[in-house]
Amino acid sequence: MKEIEFAPPLGSVYVERDEQAEVKAGSGLHVQSNKDPRRNQTATVVEIAEDIEDVSVGDTIIFNMSRAVKVGGKVFSVKIDYIEGVVECTA
């Protein structure tokens, strides 16, 4: 059977939820565990809609899990308006 692949709808990104317990953003902000679905989650962007310019594939983002739509496995669709921020790692 042929597998159908979907692109994210306009204004959305596909993300894969991260499993780490805590992320420290460049500003020093500590993001809580991904275990509580009511809290903000971190995820890696795996695909973007053609109209998205602010986020790139491979970026780690912070988003509210209650606003995401599960696409399959650990992959979720998130509208760009519901992305709280992009985590910038500094050495």
Q: Could you read off the pLDDT of 24-82 as tens digits, one per residue? A: 556 666 555 555 656 788 899 999 999 999 899 999 999 988 889 998 888 999 999 99
pLDDT number for residue 10:
92
pTM above threshold 0.95: no
70 bridge partner residues: 76
pLDDT number for residue 72:
85
Exposure string (b/e) for 24-33, b if CB count within 10 Å is 16 or more?
ebeeeeebee
**CA dist 64 → 9, 71, 82, 91 (Å):** 18, 16, 7, 27
